[in-house]
Amino acid sequence: MNINKLRSIKKLYFGYEAVAKALDIASASAKVCAYRYTRQGFLIRVKRNIYVRRDIWDSLSQEELFCLANIAQAPTYVSLLTALGLYEITTQVQRNFVESIAVKRTKELRVAEVVFNYTRIKSSLYRGFVKKEDFFIATPEKALLDALYLMSRRIYSIDLSAIDFKKLDLKRLRKEADFFPKGILGSLKKYGIT
């Protein structure tokens, strides 16, 4: 079966070109094969021309999932509770749910059993993230500020009692807060963070 030939693709994700090469078929035929294999459950379609083999998908690490979150909508970075959970700053754990910040649009994308949630912020606040392995993620301080900012706009909720504020760099937090509306600094003081 041709699906066995797809196992020669060693990348986390791939497109029609890799399918065409692995199966030694034309690119147009690769599109049809990718569609069929997706319907049969051998491939997971992340977005147009981005696929993951089901056996790879079923054993994804958290970091690989974050990489796919960045690819499913770009430009984005992982943030909010997802990032705070990775840094072990919150006790709130989200399974099969990845939150990211975007500049283009707010959107929810369901891929297999995973939900990728993207929340748009203004471009001047699209900062405070780092590249870690193969994905972009907010610093711990920026992830908290993103959450507070979205809470102030009444489009997000977070249980602040589940946050371990001792794990945050308060100097960095105050510096990053300068880029947000003044109300965010007030929120930090209200919760006794600064």
What's the pLDDT tens digit per position in 66-105? 999 999 999 999 999 999 999 999 998 888 999 999 999 9
pLDDT at residue 192 in the model: 73
pLDDT digits 0-9 by tens, 101-160: 999 999 999 999 999 999 999 999 999 999 998 999 999 999 999 999 999 999 999 998
Instruction: Name the 3-class secondary structure at 39.
Output: helix
**8 and 104 housed in the same domain:** no
Residue 180, domain extent: 62-190
**Bridge partners, residue 51, by sequence:** 14, 45
Is 85 strand, coil or helix?
Answer: helix
Same domain, 52 and 68: no
**Domain count of the chain?**
2
Given this model, what pLDDT does residue 193 score?
A: 74
Based on the fold, state whether residues 95 and 111 are members of the same structural domain.
Answer: yes
Q: Are residues 127 and 79 in the same domain?
A: yes
As a whole-number percent, the residues of the chain with pLDDT over 90 amount to 82
Rounded Cα–Cα distance for residues 33 and 19 (Å):
8
Instruction: Indicate whether 52 and 104 sit together in one domain.
Output: no
Residue 182: predicted pLDDT: 84
